[in-house]
């Protein structure tokens, strides 16, 4: 979002100090508090004048006439865009804890991402949101055909998102092939599995379903038409579906004073439990893998989130967006730590997933 407000160096210092003090105390900030806590090297009167300018610019506001000032959503936006220095110690801590806690040899990807969400929530103090890899963008890694009985075969597809899809296929013609023993049929299915894996690897199911299968190989024509129908069914099953969002840290984050109203808590919990289809486009934007996404307060199009800030970044495999990792908390957020935590978690997951592939 482009910023139209241009601040002087002094105004930047006062805004930075006001945001930090308010984040730390949750109390409206006065000029004396800034003089006592920050080395601004100016008088309280000068700070009051600067805060007045920031208020008239819409970056601060007074919740009550006798109170100090608090940052507005616009004030937080300038702070995030121009004044934040992500915390390097927090980034190192996130990377170290994830490296220590996540066992890439012994767990499924979902279990690892769930653990990553718990680590992110615990270290940040906010709600952690991690999406599982999207199904529609996943590509075939391995295909296996397994005989179930006389005329049924199980088709199992392993995707590069580490999830599997399967479907039972009816093959009446197999039972009619009297010359094929069970052992011979199993060998034939293994050869076909290897052949199709080699031919179709690294292609999305939607693209595989649209192939001209008749060109693959004449040797396996008794299977090809039925297999094509099965792949099309798997591709259609994935269309329009969205990956699951793993959520961690909800109880601790809701203890923040911003969530003191019962109705506000209920609306936010309802969104996280039942409204994930609304949340999804904000968390995961597959066409913008390089840029950190930060939604602050009223910028959020979803009403229950308009007192919140959402920070997210995609994790990738070989630079291709796979899923996302994010933090949701009040706008009175320690952005230095939150941004560093999200970026570090996304970087760690991208590197680990690419290396494990």
Band of residue 178 on the pLDDT scale cut at 50, 70, 90: very low
Burial code (b: 16+ CB inside 10 Å, e: under 16) for 32-69 equals ebbbeebebeeeeeebeebbeebeebebbbeeeeeebb
Domain final position from 211, 238, 265:
238
State the virtual CA torsion across 54, 85, 355, 315 in degrees, nearest 10: -10
- Has residue 84 got a pLDDT over 50? yes
Do residues 290 and 270 both lie within one domain? yes
| pLDDT tens-digit map of 285-324 | 766 555 789 999 999 999 889 989 999 999 988 888 888 9
169: helix, strand or coil: strand
Q: Give how far Cα 205 sits from Cα of 139, 230, 334, Å.
A: 7, 11, 42
Q: Please say whether the beta carbons of 122 and 186 come within 8 A.
A: no
Residue 219's pLDDT band, with cuts at 50, 70 and 90, is: low
* Burial profile 201-212: b = 16 or more Cβ within 10 angstroms, e = fewer: eeebbbebbeee
Q: How many angstroms separate the CA atoms of 140 and 224, rounded?
A: 17
If asked whether residues 220 and 72 sit together in one domain, one would say: no
Enumerate the H helices of the chain as residue ranges. 9-25, 31-37, 44-56, 73-78, 88-101, 109-124, 172-175, 182-200, 205-209, 221-238, 250-253, 262-274, 276-283, 335-356
Q: Are 169 and 197 members of one domain?
A: yes
Residue of 130 and 208 predicted with greater confidence = 130
Tell me what pLDDT residue 309 has: 95
Q: Look at residue 5 in the predicted model and tell me its pLDDT.
A: 73
Question: Are residues 150 and 118 located together in one domain of the fold?
Answer: no
pLDDT bracket for residue 130 (50, 70, 90): very high
> Any idea what the CATH number is for the domain that residue 24 is in?
1.10.10.10
> 303 and 156: one domain?
no
Can you give the pLDDT at residue 220? 63
Q: Is residue 2 part of a domain?
A: no
Percent of the chain having pLDDT more than 70?
A: 87
Contact status, residue 318 vs residue 301, Cβ threshold 8 Å: no
Report the alpha-carbon distance of residue 322 to residue 194 in Å, rounded: 26
DSSP per-residue codes, 39-64? ---S-HHHHHHHHHHHHHTTSEE-SS
Confidence of residue 94 (pLDDT cuts 50, 70, 90): very high
Task: Taking residues 30-51, report their average pLDDT.
Answer: 89
Domain termination residue (choose one: 193, 209, 238): 238
State phi, psi for 326 to the nearest 5 degrees: -150, 170
Give, in degrees to the nearest 5, the angle at Cα 50 between 48 and 54.
Answer: 115
Residue 218 located in a structural domain = yes
Q: Residues 295, 339: one domain?
A: yes
Do residues 271 and 279 lie in contact, with contact meaning Cβ atoms separated by under 8 Å?
A: yes
Q: Specify the CATH number for the domain of residue 102.
A: 3.30.450.40
Is the domain of 171 the same as that of 203? yes
Domain assignment present for residue 25? The answer is yes
CATH of the domain at 173: 3.30.390
List CB contacts of 276: < 8 A, sequence separation 6 or more. 242, 245
In a domain, 1, yes or no: no
Pairwise pLDDT comparison (155 vs 220), residue with the higher score? 155
The pLDDT of residue 320: 80
Q: Is the pLDDT of residue 177 over 60?
A: no
Give yes or no for residue 172 having a pLDDT over 80: no
Domain count for the chain: 3
∠ CA 186-187-188, rounded to 5°: 90
Q: Are residues 102 and 182 located together in one domain of the fold?
A: no
Whether residue 103 is contained in a domain is answered as: yes
Confidence at residue 189, expressed as pLDDT on a 0 to 100 scale: 86
In a domain, 3, yes or no: no
pLDDT of residue 127: 94
Q: Domain range for residue 190?
A: 140-238
> What are the residues facing 71 on neighbouring strands?
60
CB-CB contact of 170 with 284 (8 Å): no
pLDDT given for residue 136 in this prediction: 62
Mean pLDDT over each residue of the chain, to the nearest integer = 84
Which position has the higher pLDDT, 235 or 96? 96
Do 44 and 185 fall into the same domain?
no
Residue 175: is its pLDDT beyond 70? no
Question: Does the CA dihedral 342-345-351-353 come out positive or negative?
Answer: negative
Per-residue pLDDT tens for 258-283?
787 777 788 888 888 887 788 888 88
Q: What's the rounded mean pLDDT across residues 89-102? A: 95
Quick one: 348 and 265 in the same domain?
yes
Both structure tokens of 353: 């997933």
Lowest mean pLDDT across 141-150, 168-177, 186-195, 240-249: 168-177
Contact (Cβ atoms closer than 8 angstroms) between residue 352 and residue 102? yes
Model confidence band, residue 179 (pLDDT cutoffs 50, 70, 90): very low
Residue 16 and residue 36 share a domain: yes
Q: Which of 213, 238, 263 is the last residue of a domain?
A: 238
Q: What would the pLDDT profile of 74-83 be if each residue is shown by its tens digit? A: 999 999 999 9
């Amino acid at each position: 979002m482009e910023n139209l407000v241009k601040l002087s160096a002094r105004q930047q210092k006062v805004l930075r100090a006001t945001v930090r003090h308010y984040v730390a105390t949750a109390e409206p900030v006065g000029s004396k508090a800034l003089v006592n806590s920050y080395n601004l090297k100016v008088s309280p009167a000068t700070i009051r004048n600067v805060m007045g300018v920031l208020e008239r610019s819409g970056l601060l506001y007074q919740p009550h006439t006798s109170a100090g000032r608090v940052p507005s959503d616009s004030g937080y936006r300038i702070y995030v865009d121009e004044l934040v220095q992500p915390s390097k110690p927090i980034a190192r801590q996130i990377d170290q804890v994830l490296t220590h806690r996540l066992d890439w040899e012994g767990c499924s990807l979902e279990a690892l991402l769930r653990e990553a969400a718990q680590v992110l929530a615990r270290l940040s103090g906010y709600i952690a949101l991690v999406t599982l890899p999207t199904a529609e963008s996943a590509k075939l890694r391995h295909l296996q055909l397994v005989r179930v009985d006389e005329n049924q075969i199980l088709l199992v597809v392993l995707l590069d998102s580490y999830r599997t899809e399967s479907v039972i296929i009816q093959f009446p013609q197999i039972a009619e092939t009297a010359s094929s023993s069970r052992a011979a049929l199993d060998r034939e299915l293994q050869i076909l599995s290897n052949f199709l894996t080699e031919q179709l690897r690294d292609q999305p199911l939607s693209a595989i379903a649209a192939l001209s299968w008749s060109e693959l190989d004449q040797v396996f024509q008794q299977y090809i038409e039925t297999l094509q129908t099965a792949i099309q069914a798997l591709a259609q099953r994935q269309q329009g579906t969205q990956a699951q969002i793993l959520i961690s840290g909800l109880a601790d984050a809701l203890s923040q004073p911003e969530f003191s109203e019962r109705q506000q808590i209920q609306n936010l919990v309802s969104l996280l439990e039942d409204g994930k289809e609304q949340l999804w486009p904000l968390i995961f934007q597959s066409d913008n893998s390089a840029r950190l996404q930060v939604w602050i307060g009223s910028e959020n199009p979803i009403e229950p989130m308009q007192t919140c800030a959402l920070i997210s970044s995609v994790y990738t495999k070989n630079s291709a967006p796979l899923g996302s990792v994010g933090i949701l908390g009040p706008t009175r957020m320690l952005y230095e730590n939150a941004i560093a935590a999200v970026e570090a978690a996304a970087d760690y997951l991208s590197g680990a997933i690419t290396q494990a592939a």
